Amino acid sequence: MTTAPPNTPRAATRGRTVTRAQRRLRDIARVKRVRHLVQLGVAVLILVAAVLHQTSGSGETPSVDALCPFGGVETLITWLTTGELISRTHPSNLILGLAVLVAAVLVGNAFCGWICPFGALQDALAWVRRRLGLPTLRVPRRADRILRYGRFVVLGLVVYLSVHTARLWFADYDPYATAFGLGWLFEFDLAAMWPALAITLLVLAASLLVERFWCRYLCPLGAVFSLVGHLSILRIRRAPSTCTDCALCNRACPVGIEPSKAQPFVSSDCIGCMDCVTACPVKGALTVDGPVLVGIPLHRDLERVSRVKAGKETT
């Protein structure tokens, strides 16, 4: 048996040292792969539930409304204010809503980045846009800040109407329920469904140009998470002394926040996808830190810990 000389391309490749840039790209790909697999798994489960609901004449299986955390939030608010549950839901919907809110306090808004099937659909549209070479529409920063209040307008309207009608009013127009409920496939009725279909198609078309358009500007559940995010125990934190202001994290963020300007924690609009952390070329500049109490770190030595991780200081 013969072996290749050390100077052959094969041997050189085998013995090649992986550069820091290559490790970073590998980490980015690994995190994205895991996140997309989780999103795909959840989306498949939701679609299976929708098919079972549409094909079971007895209505024994839950609809996607009952599996939506925002339905649980609507139900919770209605129950607290009127003592009644919203129609078309089950008491377990309260448990789902509470569980998601508690999870948001514990680990931040990871639901939107890792679980939400409509977020996964928008990520898929972003992939399609890149594959087709379509341009990305960059919303001016000032307009972006104003448009983000749209989520709270939608939230206020939905809560008001849900409380006063005691029903899942938003479900008739919710792009998530429209796309994943599969009513358009099993019981298509253009006369009754055209408002929901029009809203969903407009949102998807906008999401093809502006990444995560719905999440940024209109999602009422995103508005709830943005508020609860201020209470999150785990937050992504920027270390100013380590950060080089390269802004690679800004370009990686799918919802258009600016981690490079965090002081020290990123915006509560963060969806916890971890793209900014993996894209950061400087170890310790962006990290997931905790415990945090209302935006205040409970241990005072965070800056030094970050510098130790970056290798700029010894323990």
The series of mean pLDDT values per 10 residues for the chain, 315 residues long, is 47 61 84 94 94 79 78 76 68 77 88 94 96 91 96 93 79 92 91 95 96 96 92 91 93 94 92 94 90 68 49 49
Collect all residues with Cβ–Cβ distance below 8 Å to 87 and sequence separation of at least 6. 166, 167, 168
- What is the distance between the alpha carbons of residues 201 and 209, in angstroms, rounded to a whole number? 13
pLDDT at 29: 87
Collect all residues with Cβ–Cβ distance below 8 Å to 124 and sequence separation of at least 6. none
pLDDT at 204: 97
- What is the distance between the alpha carbons of residues 95 and 103, in angstroms, rounded to a whole number? 12
Collect all residues with Cβ–Cβ distance below 8 Å to 94 and sequence separation of at least 6. 72, 75, 76, 79, 85
Query: What sections of 56-174 are H helices per DSSP?
Result: 69-82, 92-107, 110, 117-132, 141-147, 150-165
pLDDT at 9: 44
Q: Which helix (H) or strand (E) holds 304?
A: helix 302-309
pLDDT at 98: 84
pLDDT at 95: 80
Q: What is the pTM of this model?
A: 0.84
Ordered domains of the chain (ranges, CATH): 24-225 (no CATH), 233-309 (3.30.70.20)
Quickly tell me which residue has 């559940």 as its tokens: 221
- What is the distance between the alpha carbons of residues 202 and 189, in angstroms, rounded to a whole number? 19
pLDDT at 90: 62
Quickly tell me which residue has 């659909």 as its tokens: 121
pLDDT at 94: 74
- What is the distance between the alpha carbons of residues 117 and 38, in angstroms, rounded to a whole number? 10
- What is the distance between the alpha carbons of residues 45 and 64, in angstroms, rounded to a whole number? 10
pLDDT at 101: 87
Q: Which residue type sits at 155?
A: L
- What is the distance between the alpha carbons of residues 215 and 113, in angstroms, rounded to a whole number? 10
19-47 burial by CB neighbour count: b if 16+ within 10 A, else e? eeeeebeeebeebbeebeeebeebbeebb
Radius of gyration of the chain (CA): 23
